[in-house]
Amino acid sequence: MRDTTKSVIAASWAMSLFSVKQLMNIVNSGESQDGDTADAFDAATQATGKEFNDDMIHSLFAVGDDLQREIIDLIGSSLTVEALNPAKLMELPILQRSTDTLRSFMPGTNSAVLVKELKNKFGVFNLVKQVPITMDLSDEPPFKPLSELISRALALEEYPRLWVIEGLGHYHGDTFYMGGVVPRKILGGEEYQNIPAPALTMLHAGIGMAFAQHLMMTVNHLSPVSEIREVLKEYIHLCHDNSQPGYEGCALESLGLISRHGQFYGETSPTQMVQIVSDELAKIDIDAYGYFWHGVGRATYFLPINFLPGYGSISHACDMIRSTAPDDLALCNAISGLAWGVTMVNIRDPEIMAHWISLQGEFLSSNDGLANGFMSGLIMRQDTTPNASFIEEYYNHDPKGGVQALWKTMVKDPGDLAMDRIYPALVKHKRLGEIFRYQSLDRLVDGLESE
């Protein structure tokens, strides 16, 4: 019953953003094969969502749909016999979420941190959106040489440099599809061998985004699983075939980023699509499964709903991950990906990470996902913007609010390890792609050094 309610409301939300007439035409056309009510509205919603060509409209749909689904889940989890006890009233999930939302508007230190974090996210979002304009990118041949664009990107200020390079990778991957050419060994060719090392990780990540976006546009959560499986196999093949040795993971992780953001490929049920992709990857490639969930975690931080005050907290993104990750491997990878995003976006404001730890320290200390994601983010920054002043300042930050011990365990000590041991070893052995998934980086380095 709960799923049916969600599907009906999602369809209604899509209807309000598109048109009643269009939606009724879809429902009456018989596109739902099995007659099930939820599936009928689901099919109508997906077909309507495909018409949302505007990013803003699709983002509005995503926010509204996520909100209604979350509210229904919160109500469902609140309606228990025990919850009817007045003494337990304020413990109801729906009231806790409402309280968190109201608290975000109250003046004080915590609200200032939340505002700063949202400003940082909006800044990165706008920066990425403006890459085609900033770099004067053509949407038709002739395209400027990638080497020229990378040189210009590396000359930018330290903070935006990483995001612009990722955008250039996405653009470069797109140019092959614009020309109707299947990408083959596009970073393995001789002309790419002199690309500066600081550009390689995020360049590969951007190219992986292009592959994922174009392939995922050919399927959706209503497609036969056999078709989705073939798309995933082709994606894995493209990432390995077009990456330089040791950087494959950078590209593979982008599948999770694209899959979780429905607006990238016209998907109205990205959470459901994530579960389908997850199930298939677990069967065909367990390494790709880990990279995928890392990308899902990174994507969750940037979901439209997580730009809303109250909902737009890191803790809310963490809660979304905990409710969807199917196993410990997926959970650790997703938390690592989330911590990666938090670190990269807020590298100049360590108090934002400290605030997250203060809110969810008990859960975060139950595994090393945050520490792993932080190390990976720090390594990424060091590789892209070597010795930038904000790198060391971040992990040497002295937090307030009684989280000093957790900060040392999750941030300070991992930061020292990342800079002193992990990063030099990964560069030496050309394995930087490994930081795009959760694993013991210390143990990985032990194995590399013993070879």
Q: Judge residue 17's burial from the number of C-beta atoms within 10 Å of its C-beta, 0-12 exposed, 13-18 middle, 19 or more buried.
A: middle
Residue entry with tokens 């048109």? 19
Residue 63, pLDDT above cutoff 80: no
Tell me the pLDDT band of 35, cut-offs 50, 70 and 90: very low
Residue range 259-285: mean pLDDT, rounded: 94
The pTM assigned to this predicted structure is 0.82
Q: Which of 12-21, 63-72, 242-251 has the highest mean pLDDT?
A: 242-251
Amino acid at 407: W
Residue range 87-93: mean pLDDT, rounded: 44
Residue 182 φ/ψ, nearest 5 degrees: -75, 125
Q: Which of 38-52, 53-67, 73-87, 105-119 has the highest mean pLDDT?
A: 105-119
Residue 33, pLDDT above cutoff 90: no
The string of pLDDT tens digits covering residues 225-264 is 999 999 999 999 999 999 999 999 999 999 999 999 988 8
Cα separations in angstroms, 250 against 256, 291, 308, 376, 428: 11, 8, 29, 11, 17
Residue 7, pLDDT score: 56
Structure tokens at 295: 């990308």
Residue 207, pLDDT score: 97
Taking each helix axis from N to C end, the angle separating 369-384 and 441-450, rounded to the nearest 10 degrees, works out to: 60
Residue 209, pLDDT score: 97
Residue 268, pLDDT score: 86
Residue 346, pLDDT above cutoff 80: yes
Give, for 22, the enclosing helix (H) or strand (E): helix 20-28
Residue 451, pLDDT score: 82
Residue 108, pLDDT score: 53
Residue-wise burial string across 305-320, b where 16 or more C-beta atoms lie within 10 A, e elsewhere: bbebbbbbbbebbbbb
d(CA 135, CA 167): 10
Residue 142, pLDDT above cutoff 60: yes
Residue of higher predicted confidence among 208 and 47: 208
d(CA 212, CA 387): 32
Residue 274 φ/ψ, nearest 5 degrees: -60, -40
Residue range 183-205: mean pLDDT, rounded: 89
> Cβ neighbours of residue 29 under 8 Å, at least 6 residues apart?
none
Q: What is the DSSP letter of 302?
A: T
Which of 19-33, 178-192, 359-373 has the lowest average pLDDT? Answer: 19-33
Residues 241 and 184 sit within 8 Å (Cβ to Cβ): yes
The string of pLDDT tens digits covering residues 289-345 is 999 999 999 999 998 888 876 666 799 899 999 999 999 999 999 999 999 999 999
% pLDDT > 90, the chain: 61
Biggest CA–CA distance in the chain, Å, is 71
d(CA 224, CA 278): 15
Domain boundaries, the chain: 1-103, 108-450
Residues 66 and 303 sit within 8 Å (Cβ to Cβ): yes
Residue 263, pLDDT score: 84
Residue 187, pLDDT score: 86
Write the DSSP string, 407-419: HIIIIIHHHHHII
Amino acid at 331: L
The string of pLDDT tens digits covering residues 146-182 is 999 999 999 999 999 999 999 999 999 999 999 899 8
Residue 56, pLDDT above cutoff 90: no
Residue 126, pLDDT score: 85
Residue of higher predicted confidence among 284 and 92: 284
Q: Which of 45-59, 66-80, 117-131, 272-286 has the highest mean pLDDT?
A: 272-286
Residue 312, pLDDT score: 60
Residue 89, pLDDT score: 41
Q: Which of 116-125, 177-186, 208-217 has the highest mean pLDDT?
A: 208-217
Residue 445, pLDDT above cutoff 90: yes
Q: What is the DSSP letter of 347?
A: T
